[in-house]
């Protein structure tokens, strides 16, 4: 299992991991996610930390609790996350790339060419 970056709060990293899982479809909507105990043991993280991380998603309505059963991904969680990602895509991804391109002396046209090429790249 992937390790955590020790310099950022673990609960935030766990929340991001869960969001990533929902976006990728690893955790489908209305599917059950692992319990606090499972997360704690598998990732070797404090249960209070695991709870705090998962609660971030619960508070946003992305995940809901069924008493005595467990936690499930809400219907619509994936599209909600995708919409949010698109909003932050410009500021968090595009802007830093453009700045870096400028620092490297690439013109806006050259950057556009590179993006077009990357878009066509097979995964």
Residues in contact with another protein by CB under 8 A are 4, 6-11, 36-37, 40-50
Rounded to the nearest whole angstrom, what is the least distance from the CB of residue 5 to another protein in the complex?
Answer: 8
Rounded to the nearest whole angstrom, what is the least distance from the CB of residue 7 to another protein in the complex?
Answer: 3
Q: Please identify, using beta-carbon distances, which residue of 41 and 112 lies nearer to another protein.
A: 41
Rounded to the nearest whole angstrom, what is the least distance from the CB of residue 53 to another protein in the complex?
Answer: 11
Rounded to the nearest whole angstrom, what is the least distance from the CB of residue 97 to another protein in the complex?
Answer: 18
User: Do residues 11 and 19 lie in contact, with contact meaning Cβ atoms separated by under 8 Å?
Assistant: no
Angstrom distance (rounded) from CA 120 to CA 123 = 9
Q: Please identify, using beta-carbon distances, which residue of 65 and 85 lies nearer to another protein.
A: 65
Q: Please identify, using beta-carbon distances, which residue of 35 and 74 lies nearer to another protein.
A: 35
Q: At a CB cut-off of 8 Å and minimum separation 6, what does 35 contact? A: 70, 71
Q: Within 10 A of 60 (CB to CB), how many other CB atoms are there?
A: 15
CA dihedral 11, 60, 71, 29 (to 10 degrees): -120
Q: Please identify, using beta-carbon distances, which residue of 23 and 56 lies nearer to another protein.
A: 56
């Amino acid at each position: 299992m992937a390790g955590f970056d020790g310099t950022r709060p673990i609960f935030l990293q766990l929340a991001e991991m869960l969001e990533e899982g929902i976006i990728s479809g690893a955790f489908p909507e209305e599917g059950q996610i692992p319990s606090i105990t499972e997360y704690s043991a598998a990732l070797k993280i404090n249960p209070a930390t695991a709870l705090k991380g998962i609660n971030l998603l619960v508070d946003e309505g992305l995940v809901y609790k069924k008493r005595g059963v467990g936690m499930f991904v809400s219907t619509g969680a994936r599209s909600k996350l995708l919409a949010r990602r698109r909003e932050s895509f410009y500021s968090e991804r595009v802007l830093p790339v453009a700045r870096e391109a400028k620092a490297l002396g690439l013109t806006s046209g050259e950057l556009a060419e590179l993006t077009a090429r990357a878009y066509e790249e097979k995964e």
